[in-house]
Amino acid sequence: MANAQRGEIAAIIDGEEKTLCLTLGALAELEARLMAGDLVGLSERFATGRVSARDLTAILGAGLRGGGNAITDDDLARMAIEGGLKGAAEIAARLLRATFGGAP
């Protein structure tokens, strides 16, 4: 079960409820993968609202690993996400809000 106080969210991925969390390690992974430089660069990148499918995969993959799920981005790319592309974008947005703040 996801704990909002720890920045965790729950999402249905591949038919199962999964916990996602952008831990410090997951954020460091995102900084490197997306060449953001630092946390400010990362949050500025996402604040534009423009994300690619590669960005979504990186965000969700890092969040899943941060939530304790042993999964690669390649595994994630083959999984069904409730709501399809729109659902993936909504999950990523909820995860980023849980991490960086903002309206739920």
* 28-85 confidence digits (pLDDT tens): 999 999 888 888 888 888 888 788 889 999 999 999 999 999 999 999 999 999 899 9
* pTM for this prediction: 0.90
Instruction: Report residue 28 as tokens.
Output: 């460091």
> Would you call 79 helix, strand, or coil by DSSP?
coil
Confidence (pLDDT) at 86: 94
Q: Regarding predicted confidence, which is higher, 1 or 22?
A: 22
Confidence of residue 102 (pLDDT cuts 50, 70, 90): low
Query: Under the phi-then-psi rule, with left for phi > 0, alpha for psi from -120 to 50, and beta for the rest, what region is 20?
Result: beta
